[in-house]
Amino acid sequence: MRRVPILPTIVVLVAVAIMVWLGFWQLDRLGQKEAMLARYAAAMTNPAPVAFPADGSAVESALFHRAKLDCAAPSGNWNSIAGRNARGEAGYVHLVACPVDDGRLAWLQAGWTRGPQHPDWKGGEVSGLVAPYVDHTARLIADPPVPGFEASARPDPSDIPNNHLAYAVQWFFFAGVALVIYALALRKRWRERG
């Protein structure tokens, strides 16, 4: 009589159930991500401006919308990082922190230059697109750029990875492999015990 070991079988079945649950969870995340990307794409075509987000909880709803920022007194501490201009050329985008009314700092991507040196800009009101930045904060990508800069590449929601389907397939595959390996192990055990 072929006996199935109870404890190892329970462990394998629980592991497989968890992997299948993770696969369905990734499919759910796929739907959420597709809805978010569609919302971002619609925001880019909406000309109505929104308020620049004051805190992390407001960032999500403002992303890819037009907004204005009064950067009357830029901090002077520029952050020049590799980036592209509106024509796709490589160079540097320049970010500066702007103090706003409530005492916080808001990030402004003023524009693009070929080299890391940024033009001397004294500040002013800027409009543009709200884009994600570090640690779930936002930056305003100036559109048009501030004087002395060229236009940065527009943010594109399609640049946000959406690989949840691949992750779901991967979890389902792992569950199937675990079952096949366990079945082969059982078969070997039964053959050895005759």
**Ranges of each domain in the chain:** 6-31+163-193, 49-155
Average of per-residue pLDDT across 102-128: 86
Q: What is the pTM of this model?
A: 0.76
Sign of CA dihedral 16, 17, 18, 19: positive
pLDDT mean across residues, the chain = 89
pLDDT of residue 98: 86
How many residues are given for the chain? 194
Average of per-residue pLDDT across 50-70: 85
pLDDT of residue 1: 60
* pLDDT reading at 120 higher than 70: yes
* pLDDT reading at 17 higher than 90: yes
- pLDDT (tens digit per residue) in 76-89: 788 889 999 999 99
User: Residue 108 burial by CB count (10 A; 0-12/13-18/19+): exposed, middle or buried?
Assistant: buried
